[in-house]
Structures are given as C-alpha cells and as structure tokens.
Amino acid sequence: MRAAVQHRYGPPSVLTSSEVGRPLPGRNDVLVQVGAASVHPGDYFVMTGKPYVVRLVFGFRRPRHGIPGRDLAGVVAAVGKDVTALRPGDEVFGWSTAGALAEYACVPADHLVPVPANLSAVDAAAVPTSAMTALQALRDIANVRPGQTVLVTGASGGVGSFAVQIAKAFGAEVTGVCSPRNVDLVRSLGADHVVDYTRTDFTRTEKRYDVILDNVEAQPLAAVRRALTPTGTLIPNSGHGGRWIGPLGRIAKTRLLSGFTRQRLKPFTSVGKRKDLLTLADLLTTGQVTPVIDRTYPLDEAADALRHVAAGHTRGKVVVTI
C-alpha cells in the first residue's frame, strides 16, 4: 500500500511517499481503507519532534511509528476477532494513534463511529481531534450555558471554526476574532459578533466575556484576563511554546496563577472519547455543526499539506485524500 513515511524527525521534506506492507488488525482493531485524513498542528509537532518533550511519547531518536496522521474517515476493510459493532463495508470516521496518512490504517474499534449520512469522507476526516477539542473545552471545562458570552480567538482555524458553531449550539452569544479575510466566514458560522484583530484589540474594549477560548495566545495573559468577567473562564489552547517543553511552562504558570484569582484559568489537553465523537456526529447530522475545509491534497503531497498547516493561517481544516 502507499503511505506517507518518515524515518527521522524533521521538516515536511522528511516525508516520502512509499510502498509499505498493509497492517493487520489486532483482535480489538479495525482495518480501515482510508478515504481521507486531516492534519493539524499536533501532527506537525510529532513529525518534527519539536518541542522535544513530544519525543518522550513518540520516540526519542526517531518516530516510533513511521506513518504520521491521526484523524481519518474511510470504509471498514476487516475487523479483529473480538470486534462486533462494526463490519466490512461500514463507513466510519475517528482517530488512530498514528498511521492515518496511508491507504490502510489499523484503528482501535472504540475510536470509530459511523459517518453521518450527510457528510463526505473529506468532511468527516476533518472532525475528530479539532471538534473534540472545541467540544470538551466549551462543555467540560467552561460549562457553557445559554445566554453566556463566549469569545473565540483564531475563530476561522481548525478548532476555532468548530468552537464558534458548538458555542452557538449551546445557546451562547459568540464573538469570533479573526483576520480581515475571514470575517465573512466566521459570521457565516453563526458568530453574533466578529472582531477583526487588525482593527480592534479585544483586550482593550469595554466588553467582558464569560468564556474566552484562546486558540492563538497572541496577547499577554494579563491583557486577556482584563477581557474576562470577574468569575469568567479562560482556556489557553494554542499548543505553541518553547523549543524544549513547548507550552508546558506557560501551562504551569497559568495553573499557579489560577490559585490567586476568582477567574478560572484552565489550560487543558483534549482526550479522545468515543461518546464525544457520537455527540459530534449528532451535531453534524442536524446541521448545527459543519466542517470548514480549507484545502485538500493528494497523499503524494502530504508534505505540502503539513507545510500549509505549519504556516498557521488555515481556514478550517486541511485534508489529505487517499
């Protein structure tokens, strides 16, 4: 089978399109014939091995798994002996531990759910990690309720475009922060207000928000806190940081500060959960959430897809078609 393969950490040029053996599913796995796989900043960090802390998980000297990629959609080709909920021919989407940028991938059965009938494979592949991050941040961390005010920075990006729609589905009054070229897009996602960051600094207005999901973290923490209500919740979520430990230093600082204020400062890491993917499938089926696709690339151009993600100005999601 064809796959995007890397034998060392480095920039996208380390990826090559190669012939490799087709994986065999374990007893609780599903072999998926991949139709599409999305890429996001986390895939870029794993590919480059920076910040270096990622190597503690994915391999110290070289990637433990030579085929990158996590989020996918496709058709079940075979199932392990203990899998009963899925069968060959089922259309599914979900997340793997690695290996999504290939014609076939082995995925734990409990990481997959049926593709909603109104979604293509490209749309479905765009959902798992980014939409689950937005859902867990707004529902589980911030406990967003009807009538609350929610501000989302990076509102046109992968997580941000889902967050705007999910916050609206929860009944919030939503403000999206984005660049001038994305104002119309963010408004079309349901944002009640859109802030063009080249014209307005949201931290210097009189408006205060119950929840801020900061996917960019371009402003100092003290400035962003000024835009919160006295008991509001701030969720930093850029994933960027130093060369060695990435965002961990900033996360530690934020957690320490949270003990001295009534405001809730809550950095977090999303966790893949099948029940949350089912919740997202319901939102997608009813049209309350629609994936935004920036660009698609063929498998042989997976390196270009990751270069585009690394540039940091995607409109929604970047997807590799297989």
State the DSSP string of 110-143. Answer: GGEEEPPTT--HHHHHTSHHHHHHHHIIIIIIS-
Measuring CA to CA, how many Å separate 31 from each of 111, 122, 278, 315, 322? 12, 18, 20, 31, 15
CATH 3.40.50.720 in the chain is located at 129-265
Q: Against a cut of 0.75, is the pTM above it? A: yes
pLDDT, tens digit only, all 322 positions of the chain: 999 999 999 999 999 999 999 999 999 999 999 999 999 998 998 888 886 777 676 667 788 889 999 999 999 999 999 999 999 999 999 999 889 999 999 999 999 999 999 999 999 999 999 999 999 999 999 999 999 999 999 999 999 999 999 999 999 999 999 999 999 999 999 999 999 999 999 999 999 999 999 999 889 999 999 999 999 999 999 755 444 344 444 555 555 555 546 799 998 889 999 999 999 999 999 999 999 999 999 999 999 999 999 998 899 999 999 9
Fold of 129-265: Rossmann fold (3.40.50)
Q: Which amino acid is at 12?
A: P
Q: Which helix (H) or strand (E) covers residue 253, if one does?
A: helix 248-258
Q: What is the location of CATH 3.90.180.10 in the chain?
A: 2-127+291-321
Q: Which CATH architecture has domain 2-127+291-321?
A: Alpha-Beta Complex (3.90)
